[in-house]
Amino acid sequence: VIIEAIAPDGYSGEIKTLVGIDQEDKILGVRVIAHKETPGLGDYIEIDKSQWIKNFDFKSLDKLAEKQWAVKKDGGDFDYVSGATITSRAVVKSTYKCLLYSKENKKRLFAL
């Protein structure tokens, strides 16, 4: 399933993503589709600017405890770019919420 998510707490406003999740509640990929983050600093979340967004690939609620769904600066598992921590936090939080939503609504989302 692909979930469109909005992280409302980006540095410069909303960050819109698509999150692909399989039936085992594992992330297949996350891609940013719209944002207003600072060019040359916060735009590292774009796949064509850096590989950072691939840090979510194959992550799941089973592999990471809730407290690990944060940037390393906050004691979590995810890297961040110095000077753009707010951007990283927003995407990590939004992606985690997508996994929770998928797990809670699995039967409806994956109904054949």
DSSP H or E stretch at residue 17: strand 13-21
* pLDDT tens digits, 53-78: 999 999 999 999 999 999 999 999 99
Rounded to the nearest angstrom, the gap between the alpha carbon of residue 20 and the centroid of all alpha carbons in its chain is: 10
Show the tokens assigned to 4.
Answer: 């469109």
Give the chain's mean pLDDT.
96
Residue 49 bridge partners (DSSP): none
The model's pTM is 0.94
88 pLDDT more than 70: yes
Distance CA 61, CA 107 (A): 17
Could you list the residue range(s) of the whole structural domain that residue 58 is in? 2-109
Say how many domains are in the chain.
1
Which is it for the CA torsion 53, 57, 61, 66, positive or negative? Answer: negative
* pLDDT tens digits, 99-112: 999 999 999 999 86
